[in-house]
Structure 1
């Protein structure tokens, strides 16, 4: 994978704040989420985006983040369903604390990653990896991507050569968070903040 990427995660939502599993459903950005998108705009304003295509997940939280963070900087933002968050099936909308005892699991900036693989009727991490691998294989030229926490981790892991069969350990070691931008180029990842 040699395509240059800037990868942004949407800003905090009301469901993020409550600790809910969002998956393909949407929740609005909080005031902090809007501030995080403005921070991303300030980061991206320092980048030369000439020749970059901008793609966003079609989820409202990602589209709103893309509009705030990139709308003033680019002429076109296109949505792509492959950038949606991993589907969490029957656990969509559920509080993470209802599902597991978080003290028994490794908690990352994006929650307990095992939940995304265990969700009944969900996409699972293998399904997410297959979707993200297909997505990356069709990219030509440099791209800015606005996506979600787990999808961002998977895309970056694959772009850095950790596939096929990206492990939970690899995803857990991948940095996450909101209000930051990850730059992936030439097999290296740099967090911009």
Structure 2
């Protein structure tokens, strides 16, 4: 059974400012690069040495994946389907500006997740592309599969893989460089075994 690790990228300056990044290519901050280094040191002890690594092409995810790839000595493939959800006109503006310009849409976003603003990629489209990517890579992998993605696309993609409701936050977001572990069962279904695991947690008795 394939083990799947889904990892969120390290911290960026926009994360610290609570700005939606979406399709905007924002690099890792110095703190994010240090998070990626710690994640790689820990996760390299948990995954198979010949694990398949695949990443969103956005640099914050790709550079996070490269940190693990450097430790394992394996390449990191790119798949555009793993990119972050597009937030349209909300990308790069403050929460206060969102609320001032789109109060009804912000309320809908918090309540149900799909605000209906220009350029916003709805849950169903995100779930479809992320799940399709993961299923395809899992079908090729003969060992562990490690996917590097983003807060929203990772969460929605997992909900799609698990057959959960896409209505809203059935699963919470991953923290920066946190991961979830899923297993592909013989019947073809995915099972969530761990969610939002922090790399700096002390692992005892194989808990991770």
Q: Same fold (TM over 0.5)?
A: yes
CA distance in 2, matches of 1:23, 1:65: 17
Cα deviation for residue 71 of structure 1 reads: 2.1
TM normalised by structure 1 equals 0.81
- Deviation above 3 Å: which 4+ runs of structure 1? 111-119
| RMSD value, Cα | 2.7
- Contact 1:13–1:28 (CA<8 Å) still a contact in 2? yes
Higher-RCO chain (CA-CA 8 Å, sequence separation at least 6): 1
Q: Distance in 2 between matches of 1:45 and 1:89?
A: 36
Tell me which of 193, 196, 201 is aligned to 1:189.
Answer: 193
CA 1:175/1:14 → structure 2, altered by over 3 Å: closer, same or farther? closer
Residue 156 of structure 1 is aligned with which of 150, 155, 158?
A: 158
Q: Which runs of 5+ in 1 are unaligned?
A: none
Counterpart contact for 2:113–2:168, Cα < 8 Å: no
TM-score, normalised to structure 2's length? 0.76
Q: Give distance in 1, aligned partners of 2:160 and 2:70.
A: 27
Q: Structure 1 CA distance, aligned partners of 2:114 and 2:58? A: 18
Residue correspondences, number = 182
For the Cα contact (< 8 Å) 1:157–1:174, is it kept in 2?
A: no
Residues 108-130 of structure 1: CA distance to partner in whole angstroms, max 9, x if unpaired?
A: xxx96966644422212121122
Q: Does the CA contact (< 8 Å) of 1:10 and 1:65 recur in 2? A: yes
Q: Which residue in the other structure is 1:143 paired with?
A: 145
Cα gap change, 1:51 to 1:13, in 2 (>3 Å):
same
SS of equivalent residue, structure 1 residue 146? strand
Change (3 A) 1:158 1:126: closer
Separation (CA, whole Å) in 1 of partners of 2:112 and 2:12: 21
| CA radius of gyration, larger in | 2
Q: In structure 2, what is the Cα distance between the partners aligned to 1:113 and 1:144?
A: 31
